[in-house]
Structures are given as C-alpha cells and as structure tokens.
Amino acid sequence: GVMDGSFHLGIIPSHRQSDSLAYDALFGETMLLYCGAQHALFAQDMQAMGWDDLRRYPFAGLGQHSPNMEISQRERLPRKATGFDQESIATLILSGLYLGFLPDHYAEGFVQKGQMRAVQPTLFRYACQFLAIARRTPEPSRATKALQACLRLAHGN
C-alpha cells in the first residue's frame, strides 16, 4: 500500500528493501517457536532437538512474505496452517496441533498461564527488526514527515 501510494506510511518487519522507499529502524522483537499445552512436545525434554526433529510436526506460519515465512521455508518446516497475524498463529498454537513462531513478549502471558511453551528457545529463534517505511517520491507530506519524526523520537532514533 505504501509503494502504490494507498498509504502514506507503514510499519513492517525488515526482510527485503526497495530503492523507492525510505526506511527508519524502530524496534526489534525476538521470535521464539512455541507449542501449546496439548501438543506432544509440551511435556517433553527438548534440549536435544534440532531442525530435523521439527519437521515431524505441523507448523503454523504467516501467509505474507516475512521473516517468519523465510525461516520456515529455509528450514523446510511442514506448513499445515496459515495465519495472517500473531493472534491467528497464537490461536493455532493454543489448539495443540501446531508449532509456530511468536514474539516472546506476546507469548509471555500464555507461557505464564501454562498454555504454551517455547520449544528449545536457544536454537529455534530469530530476531525481527521493525521499520517505518514511506515513499521517497513524491516527497512525503508534512503530516507524514511529522509522524516519521514522532516515531523516530518514540523509538530513540
């Protein structure tokens, strides 16, 4: 939407860049792999697990191009369900049928309630940087520039 002019500004996870957009780094998230309390892995010791072991379990991943999609394709995780936001991925994980990546801060409440658990968090993780994006041309409006300045200020940039 930003590229075609439908939106003045967007906030996206960093995964690919275009010369037609200006980028401002905002914040990062740590993404961990989770299973729900009803999942076969929940009560197991997962210390010895590797990527090959994960391929035996259905994976719920994001349907749009993202770091989530890239890591699941690179590691050949068997996507059996698709969501388009973290809430849908969390719901699929909570069903006990799927593994999926979520931001650690988002999943924390579920973890504290014993509803989900991180799977081998020292290995099955990735960092995700979020960026504000705007078109380079035409030059952004004053309102867009003001919002960009507010975002940079709010995120310490």
Query: For 95-132, what is each residue's pLDDT tens digit?
Result: 999 999 999 999 999 999 999 999 999 999 999 999 99
CA of 127: how far to CAs of 57, 59, 112, 137, 138, in Å?
A: 23, 19, 22, 30, 32
**In terms of residues, how long is the chain?**
157
Per-residue pLDDT, averaged over 83-106, amounts to: 96
Which pLDDT value is given to residue 63? 81
The per-residue b/e assignment along 92-114, b for 16 or more CB within 10 angstroms, e otherwise, is bbbebbbbbbbebebbeebeeee
User: How do residues 39-68 score in pLDDT, each as one tens digit?
Assistant: 999 999 888 899 999 999 999 998 877 777
This prediction has a pTM of 0.85
The end-to-end CA distance of the chain, in Å, is 24
Beta strands 59-62; 79-83: pairing state: parallel
Q: Domain coordinates of the chain in residue numbers?
A: 10-154
Q: What percent of the chain has pLDDT over 90?
A: 76
Look at residue 27 and give its three-state secondary structure: strand
Q: How far apart are CA 78 and CA 99, in angstroms?
A: 10
- The correct CATH number of 10-154 out of 3.40.50.300, 3.40.190.290, 2.60.40.420, 3.40.630.10 is 3.40.190.290
Confidence of residue 157 (pLDDT cuts 50, 70, 90): low
User: How do residues 9-40 score in pLDDT, each as one tens digit?
Assistant: 999 888 778 899 999 999 999 999 999 999 99
